[in-house]
Amino acid sequence: MKVFAGNSNRQLAEAICKYLNLPLGKASVRRFADQEIFVEIQENVRGEDIFIIQPTSSPTNDHLMELLIMIDAFRRASAKRITAVIPYFGYARQDRKSGSRTPISAKLVANLITESGADRVMTMDLHAAQIQGFFDIPTDNLYAAPLLTRDIKDNYDLKNLMVVSPDVGGVARARSLAKRLDCLLAIVDKRRDRPGESEVMNVIGDVTGKDCILIDDIIDSGGTLCNAAEALLKQGASSVTAYITHGVLSGGAVARVSSSKLRELVITDSIQPTTAVLSAPNIRVLSSATLLGEAIDRTSAEASVSSLFDD
């Protein structure tokens, strides 16, 4: 087994290699003067089981092209098996035709990864579970729930806890976490008038005096979570904390979260945190290296990955 990384999140790749007690593979991923991507593998990989760590986070198109070209390079270097480890899968929010004459970009990206020569894909908390079926190769969708559950148990009194879904679409995810924590569930009903903006309409469930945990897979602009936190506090919640797997945090999201009524925003390092994120007073980053490293180790050993998430 050998582990390599593009330029998307080398810190996470190095942490995974530390867990696996392996050196990070030697590869050069650089740009020509016209910004074309050039990849050179600097060690022998013939017959090796290759894992490429590369979230397709911003700049999404650049990091996606790096991944595709790296896969092609390893295929042409006669690697035995190539697994694309994509902790954050970009374009996942375009998983269906949301209107007339719109693309299903998640399926297109799945096709590109498959056609480039990947034998397997490993990702974490896909925005829509059906994206697994967009691939014609084996795909493992890992869950951050064990990481989040462990952190919540370490920091909260479970007897006064309530898990909250920030919208109706995330109820299944919130219900799963509430089951792990053996606590109650509430739902924030919202109406979105235009992309990037949301209006909180109602809180379904009695949150009076509760420490509320908002759970979601992605935070982008931060508007939904900040509005949800305000609505929950107005309904009598004691505190509101958000646990989100992927901290996209585009535009002015970090400033919005910092000035919001959220007690804390907890994200994983599936996307490499920026300096602004690391310096924000109420944003904390959890490492996903152990979870991903264990899944990589089990995949290489042909052992069960799903047992990682057994209750």
What is the model's pLDDT at position 191? Answer: 67
pLDDT at 198 > cutoff 60? no
**Residues tagged active-site:** 190
pLDDT digits (tens, 9 = 90+) for 285-309: 999 999 999 999 999 999 999 988 8
Q: Does residue 127 have a known ligand-binding role?
A: yes
Per residue in 200-212, pLDDT (tens digit) is 568 999 999 999 9
pLDDT digits (tens, 9 = 90+) for 139-160: 999 999 999 999 999 999 899 9
Q: Is 192 annotated as a binding residue?
A: yes
Q: What is the mean pLDDT of residues 261-289?
A: 96
Whether 169 and 188 map to the same domain: the answer is yes
Shared-domain flag, residues 173 and 215? yes
User: What's the pLDDT score for residue 189?
Assistant: 86
| Whether residue 139 is found in the same domain as residue 261 | no
Q: Please report which residue ranges of 85-222 form alpha helices under DSSP H.
A: 105-116, 145-155, 171-181
pLDDT attached to residue 196:
58
pLDDT at 161: 95
CA dihedral 22, 75, 119, 115 (to 10 degrees): 140
Q: Could you tell me which residue, 236 or 311, shows the higher pLDDT?
A: 236
Look over the chain and give the mean of its residue pLDDT values, rounded to a whole number.
94
**Percent of all residues in the chain with a pLDDT value above 90, rounded to a whole number:** 88
- Domain region containing 32: 2-143+290-309
Residue 224 annotated as binding site: yes
pLDDT band of residue 186 (cuts 50, 70, 90) is very high
Q: 167 pLDDT band (50/70/90 cuts)?
A: confident
36 is in an annotated binding site: yes
Is residue 152 located within the same domain as residue 283?
yes
CA 169 to chain centroid: 17
- Do residues 277 and 298 share a domain? no
| pLDDT at 195 (0 to 100) | 61
Q: Is residue 149 part of an annotated ligand binding site? A: no
Q: Are residues 172 and 304 in the same domain?
A: no
Per-residue pLDDT, 202:
86
Please tell me whether 211 is known to bind a ligand.
Answer: no
Cα–Cα dist 109/56, whole Å:
10
Q: Does 72 count as an annotated binding residue?
A: no
Please, which residues bridge with residue 121 across strands?
84, 139
Closest CA to 228 of 194, 265, 262: 262
pLDDT digits (tens, 9 = 90+) for 85-98: 999 999 999 999 98
CATH of the domain at 29: 3.40.50.2020
Same domain, 149 and 15: no
Write out pLDDT tens, residues 45-85: 999 999 999 999 999 999 999 999 999 999 999 999 999 99
Q: Quick one: 278 and 155 in the same domain?
A: yes
- Structural domain count of the chain: 2
Same domain for 138 and 174? no
In this structure, the chain runs to a length of 311
pLDDT at position 169: 83
Would you say residue 190 has pLDDT above 80?
Answer: no
Do residues 232 and 240 lie in contact, with contact meaning Cβ atoms separated by under 8 Å? yes
State yes or no: 216 annotated in a binding site: yes
Q: In this predicted structure, what is the pLDDT of residue 78?
A: 97
